[in-house]
Amino acid sequence: MMRLGANDYLLKDRLGRLGDAFRHAREEQMLRRANRAAEAALQESETRFRRLAENAQDLIFRYRAERGCFEYMSPAATALTGYTPEDFYADPGLAFRLAHPEDCREQARAFTAGTDGRTLTLRWIRRDGRLVWTEQRNVSVRAERGVPMAVDGIIRDVTERRSAEESTAALVQDLRAGETQRRVLVARLVTAKEEESRRIAADIHDDSIQIMASAGMRLGVLARQVKEPEQLESLRMLEQVVGEAITRLRRQMVDLRPVGLDDGGLAMVLEDYVDQCRQDMDMTFDFQSRLTGDLPAEIQITLFRIAQEALANVRKHAVARHVEIRLDEVVEGVALRITDDGIGMASPMEKSPLGHLGLTGMRERAETAGGWCRVGGRPGAGTTVECWLPAHLADATP
């Protein structure tokens, strides 16, 4: 057996330490290579960022809060403010003084602490004195203990967009004012028409019907005095004609101003009108009302006039066999729905004859009261008129 001496043990120890030295040297070489690769990647990333920032239309910056200076300011600063990046490097307070006096405090907070992820819109005053609107989004870069080290941000010129928004807002306001004025005028027109209808109805009742009724009574007295059968028959026929005229005048009076609307009886008045339609039209009618509360008189007359116009269109144009009328309380308002099984309509915007506003008038009435009216249908499939009015009066005063 071979025996190992002291020299052999010393040589083995040295060889072991030499291997550790080789491994340590290799690890240091690999670490240096990794550091060089990371440094190259960082430089490449910074180069790409700088190239992007140098060509961006938005102003990109980094403000060192602890030093109170700008570490970077992109060339877009010149187009936005009239000052060069060098001006900001030389005078860090310049950016704070650019802010409009009313926005100075908010701007200082945005530069030193960021905007907390919010998009901030502030006014700046350019070098030439022109006001510009800026949109900023600044992010605070903090150290391990949460102390702000820097603020990175992007600032965009939104003056044109802001001007467009203000112009649009002004236009919308003008349109709303015009719409309000239009509604006021239409409301006055509707009120004037209703007052005129009320006056004519009163005249018919107090004048024409009274005269015709008096004539009928005199004919009756005369008929009792006549003995000749032929003359008596003529008087009876004349008395019948007068009675028919009185009936028509009363219908016209009801059409002009239905009795009961002022007392909150829309469902009752509309049902009476449907009964009259049953007598005048060769079709069946199904009327249902689920109204439980009282409605303002103006809302009731508007609903009645819409129903009246819709049923007049059915009589004149629909060639229908069956009509359904529904009154329901829906979404703090009243819904009216009239459906027929007639020939439908090719053009829902057509006007009815005799000078009435027709379908357009129904829409105008509903919109004036703060609601809406829709007409739907197609040839051969009937027509549906739907409208909704609020259960309270819309404020139509400017």
In the structure encoding, which two tokens stand for residue 377, read together? 């249908």
What is the extent of the structural domain holding 145? 54-157
| pLDDT tens digits along 315-354 | 888 888 999 999 999 878 999 999 999 888 755 444 444 3
Instruction: Examine residue 316 and state whether it is found in any structural domain, yes or no.
Output: yes
CATH code, domain carrying 321: 3.30.565.10
Show which of 109, 134, 157 is a domain's final residue: 157
Instruction: Examine residue 21 and state whether it is found in any structural domain, yes or no.
Output: no
Instruction: Examine residue 174 and state whether it is found in any structural domain, yes or no.
Output: no
CB–CB of 59/76 below 8 Å? Answer: yes
DSSP state of 351: P
Rg (CA), the chain: 44
Predicted structure pTM score: 0.49
Residues 265 and 148 in one domain: no
Q: Is the pLDDT of residue 44 over 50?
A: yes
Taking Cα atoms as reference points, which of 261, 267, 300, 301 lies closest to residue 391? Answer: 300
Cα four-point dihedral sign 81, 83, 87, 93: negative
Instruction: Examine residue 283 and state whether it is found in any structural domain, yes or no.
Output: yes
Taking Cα atoms as reference points, which of 269, 334, 278 lies closest to residue 304? Answer: 269
Instruction: Examine residue 91 and state whether it is found in any structural domain, yes or no.
Output: yes
| pLDDT tens digits along 347-376 | 544 444 433 457 788 888 888 888 999 988
Instruction: Examine residue 250 and state whether it is found in any structural domain, yes or no.
Output: no
Domain count, the chain: 2
Show which of 157, 190, 212 is a domain's final residue: 157
Instruction: Examine residue 237 and state whether it is found in any structural domain, yes or no.
Output: no
In the structure encoding, which two tokens stand for residue 207, read together? 């004048």
Instruction: Examine residue 184 and state whether it is found in any structural domain, yes or no.
Output: no
| pLDDT tens digits along 159-214 | 999 989 889 999 998 888 887 777 677 667 767 777 787 788 778 777 787 888 88
Q: Is the pLDDT of residue 74 over 90?
A: yes
CATH code, domain carrying 144: 3.30.450.20
Mean predicted lDDT score pLDDT of the chain = 80
Residues 263 and 391 in one domain: yes
Show which of 102, 127, 157 is a domain's final residue: 157
